[in-house]
């Protein structure tokens, strides 16, 4: 086999409860991830040496050197499996860069799966998940997809039971937000306030099991929202715009600036996406549904 293509989804955090800052510089979190139908694609092609090219909107904002997370994933896998890191990675981006949708983490997960098949390393899913966790807190979830509870840094996963498909609108903002900067802003805002242990309520798990968007809407929560809105005040208007356009609920996705709005059904979500796309506040809006599968091989070539 000379080329392997992997498709990998974006995620939204239905709940992101952020606890105290740990000694290792990460925050203890309890989060509920859902993979949604917005995908990047990574093609791994057998070539001497390790190189990366990026295609898609704002491709110029993605690093091509050793800072690229997909390249780091290939390097880490090669070192672990004891094979030469001979691969050209083509990352085709549809997930916005620095959007709070774990696009970089998704590309790393896709590169792990693609190179694993290309190099025929014979590693198990557990070993890939361990490598994924070293690359970033959200990378293990991009491998597994679906809907899952994440604890620790977000890398320790338990699948959640989901009784149906949920329909979302993603509203994109101009430009990205840096995840470390948003966490640092939360620490600043919280100075002097007690920080409770992060937790995901039973009610949100029940809403997922029931497949009930109205129940779920009441339980959506992101502790990073306050910090993301503090760094980007226009996000408060974007949230207001979606809510007044009839969304059941809206929240900042991860560290932002993308906002996710929950709809009653597909028809409602598509209408909401049109309304938001026409508004001046959003750069673009798009209907997605979840949960969807994690990083999967979508094609191979000889
Ligand atoms: O794990 P990842 O490399 O994606 O995290 C990026 C940054 O986000 C970390 O360096 C840290 O500043 C912040 N972070 C955090 N607590 C987490 C996850 C991420 O503080 N649980």
The overall longest dimension of the chain from CA atoms, in Å, is 60
For residue 26, the model assigns a pLDDT of 97
CB distance 167 to ligand 1 below 6 Å: no
For residue 100, the model assigns a pLDDT of 92
CB distance 11 to ligand 1 below 6 Å: no
Q: Which two tokens stand for residue 235?
A: 């996000």
For residue 50, the model assigns a pLDDT of 96
For residue 1, the model assigns a pLDDT of 81
pTM check: above 0.85: yes
For residue 175, the model assigns a pLDDT of 87
Integer Cα distance of 230 and 253 in angstroms: 15
User: Ligand 1 mean position to 180 CA, how many Å?
Assistant: 6
Tell the burial category of 117 from Cβ atoms under 10 Å away from its Cβ (0-12, 13-18, 19+).
middle
Q: Which residues pair with 286 in a beta bridge?
A: 170
Mark whether 11 is an active-site residue: yes
Query: Which residues, given as ranges, of the chain have pLDDT below 50?
Result: none
Which of 159, 169, 163 has its CA nearest to residue 245? 169
CA of 79: how far to CAs of 83, 85, 86, 127, in Å? Answer: 7, 8, 11, 13
Residues with Cβ within 8 Å of 120's Cβ and at least 6 positions away in sequence, in order, are 1
User: Ligand 1 mean position to 272 CA, how many Å?
Assistant: 32
Catalytic residue among 40, 107, 116, 138: 138
CB distance 92 to ligand 1 below 6 Å: no
CB distance 150 to ligand 1 below 6 Å: no
Catalytic residue among 11, 40, 107, 223: 11
């Amino acid at each position: 086999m000379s080329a392997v293509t992997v498709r990998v989804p974006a995620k939204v955090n239905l709940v992101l409860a952020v606890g105290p800052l740990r000694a290792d510089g990460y925050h203890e979190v309890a989060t509920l991830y859902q993979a949604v139908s917005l995908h990047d694609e990574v093609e791994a092609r057998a070539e001497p040496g390790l190189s990366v090219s990026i295609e898609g909107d704002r491709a110029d904002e993605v690093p091509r050197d050793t800072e690229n997370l997909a390249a780091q994933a290939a390097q880490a896998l090669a070192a672990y499996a004891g094979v030469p890191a001979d691969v050209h990675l083509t990352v085709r981006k549809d997930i916005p860069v620095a959007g709070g949708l774990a696009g970089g983490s998704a590309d790393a997960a896709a590169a792990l799966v693609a190179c694993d098949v290309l190099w025929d390393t014979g590693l198990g899913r557990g070993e890939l998940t361990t490598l994924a966790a070293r690359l970033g807190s959200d990378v293990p979830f991009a491998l597994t997809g679906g809907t899952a509870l994440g604890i620790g840094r977000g890398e320790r996963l338990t699948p959640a039971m989901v009784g149906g498909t949920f329909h979302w609108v993603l509203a994109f903002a101009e430009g990205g937000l840096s995840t470390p900067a948003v966490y640092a802003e939360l620490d600043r805002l919280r100075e002097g306030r007690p920080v409770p242990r992060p937790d995901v309520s039973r009610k949100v798990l029940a809403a997922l099991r029931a497949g009930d968007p109205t129940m779920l809407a009441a339980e959506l929560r992101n502790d990073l929202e306050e910090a993301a809105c503090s760094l980007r005040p226009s996000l408060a208007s974007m949230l207001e715009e979606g809510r007044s356009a009839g969304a059941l609920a809206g929240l900042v996705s991860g560290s932002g600036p993308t906002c996710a709005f929950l709809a009653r059904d597909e028809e409602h979500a598509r209408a909401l996406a049109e309304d938001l796309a026409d508004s001046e506040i959003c750069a673009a809006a798009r209907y997605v549904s979840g949960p969807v599968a994690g990083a999967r091989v979508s094609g191979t070539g000889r």
